[in-house]
Amino acid sequence: MGADNKLTKAEIIDRIYEEIDIDKSDIHRVIDKLFDHLKDALSEDQVIELRGFGTFEIRTRKGREKARNPRTGEIVPVSTHGVAVFRPGKQLKKIAWDLRG
């Protein structure tokens, strides 16, 4: 998978603009607001469920006394921290299965 397979926010805005008669700046604002609300919900430890697409949530990853910095090889401690997690929904899993299966 290379850079040719990447879809940017600008490209999504262009695609929506081609399908719907709405000003690009309005589409941009709506998408930015969507991302703002998703980030706010995650920062408040809410689970975001988008049926047919998937679920976003923050999970706690336990810290460790010894972890290795992959760049330097140095042993460093890692404290307990949150990680963003995405679980694909049934429809998205099927698309991925059909694409790669």
Domain boundaries, the chain: 1-46, 47-101
d(CA 97, CA 101): 5
Report the 3 state secondary structure along 32-43. HHHHHHHHHHHH
CATH fold for domain 47-101: HU Protein; Chain A (4.10.520)
Beta partners for residue 50, in sequence order? 54
d(CA 14, CA 31): 12
Looking at residue 2, its pLDDT comes to 53
Each residue's pLDDT tens digit in the chain (101 positions)? 456 789 999 999 999 999 998 999 999 999 999 999 999 999 999 999 999 899 999 999 999 888 998 999 999 999 999 999 999 999 999 998 998 86
Whole-number Cα distances in Å, 44 to 32, 55, 60, 85: 18, 15, 14, 15
Reported as half-sphere exposure (CB side, CA atoms, 13 A), residue 53 has a value of: 6
